[in-house]
Each structure stands twice: as C-alpha cells, then as structure tokens.
Structure 1
Amino acid sequence: MQTPSALIVFTTLPDPDSARALARRLVETRVAACVNVMSPCQSIYRWQDKLNEDGEIPVIIKTCAENYDRLEALVRESHPYELPELVAIDITRGLPGYLAWIAAETMEPK
C-alpha cells in the first residue's frame, strides 16, 4: 500500500484570533485536514537588523504535498506579517490510516 505524500507545515501568528481564523479557513477550504492552534510562546528573532521578542501563536498544519501551493497562497493572502514563517516538513512515516485520512480530507470536492 502506497502511503500518501503528506506534510506538516508550521507558521506563527500574532494572536489567537488570527490563528483560529487561518486554521478554520484552511480546513473549510480543504487545504488542510487538521490545524493545531498551540499555546502562546515567546519568539526571539532578528528582523531588519533589530532584535525582537514577541508573543506568538504557533500553528501546525497537516496537509498533502499536492496542496502546498494552495496552502501557501492562502497563508500569504491572510497572514498579517510582512514575511510569515512557513516551513513544510515531509512526513516520511506515519500511521497509514492517518495519512490516508489527511489525503481524503484535503481532496477538492467533486
């Protein structure tokens, strides 16, 4: 049985409301099967030659690799940051049934 090609995609948002709104949009449009909106964290980073420390909401997105371009377009369109974090990691192994569920939930309706 071939395992569907799946991704875990990470991003962060500035507040819970924008994180939940993005999560709902991604699942409602079937770009993602599941989105975890995590607890707030502190991010320390350098941006435009300035050291910053900000509270952010991490978001973990599960999708099929075939949906990445659509996912990226939706994130870019609705993300409040000038340059959002958007990092995708290939799922090389996983419970076959779960990976099949990701594939089924992210298929465009016919």
Structure 2
Amino acid sequence: MPTLYVTAPPGAAADLAKTLVDERLAACVNRVPCRSTYRWDGAVVADDPEEVLFVKTTADRVAETEARIAEAHPYDTPCVERFEEDAVAEPFAAWVADATTPE
C-alpha cells in the first residue's frame, strides 16, 4: 500500500486533502504543519510555512491520485513522493482499499 508524501501551502492543504478523499483517491490524508527551506529560481527560500500531506491510497489509484494532485495543487512543481509500505496491518490495508474504491 503506497503513501504519497506531498507538501502544500497551509491555505491550500485542507482543500487538497478534502478533494482527494471526496473523490475516493485517498482513504485518509494526514496534515502536519512544517517549515521548509529550499532553493527556487536561484534563491534560497528560508522558513516558508507549509503542510505535509500523507496521502493513503492504493497501488491501482496512485497514477490517478498523482495526476489529480498536480491538477489541483497551487505550486508549479509540487513535491509528490511515493513511499511503498510492505508491512501494513491487514485491517488498515483493507479499509484503505474499501475507502478508495469508486462507488
């Protein structure tokens, strides 16, 4: 079961999370506030507020979920990383599968 790691500005994170769950692309999205330091357009941006989104989805929904994130995300180049989780409790994996099955 994959988890997508996504960062987003605080003002967009809640809407992005809700969209992914509403559209059954994610069973759950955990949002964690963070501060980011990064290089953009040749300059270092320090102490930028963001939220980390941990997007719980299934392997067969990853491509569609990534595409939807790219479409809905306010950044030109959103951070989307995929974590593969081989050791997931079966009841949780079953819940994610059920919650991401299109109606």
Shorter-chain TM-score tier? over 0.9
Query: Of residues 8, 12, 16 in structure 1, which corresponds to 2:3?
Result: 8
Give the distance between the partners of 2:94 and 2:84, measured in 1 at CA.
15
Measured against aligned partners, the alpha-carbon deviations of 1:4-61 in whole angstroms (never above 9, x if no partner) come to: xx1111111111x31110111100110000001112x111111222111211111111
Q: Which amino acid aligns with 1:79?
A: H
Runs of 4+ in structure 1 over 6 Å off: none
CA root-mean-square deviation: 0.9
Give the distance between the partners of 1:14 and 1:33, measured in 2 at CA.
21
5 Å-filtered alignment, 1:1-110, equals: 6-15=1-10, 17-39=11-33, 41-53=34-46, 54-109=48-103
Q: Which amino acid aligns with 1:21?
A: D
Q: So what's the TM-score if we normalise by structure 1?
A: 0.88
Aligned residues: 102
Q: Name stretches of at least 5 consecutive residues in structure 2 with no aligned partner.
A: none
Q: So what's the TM-score if we normalise by structure 2?
A: 0.94
Q: Name stretches of at least 5 consecutive residues in structure 1 with no aligned partner.
A: 1-5
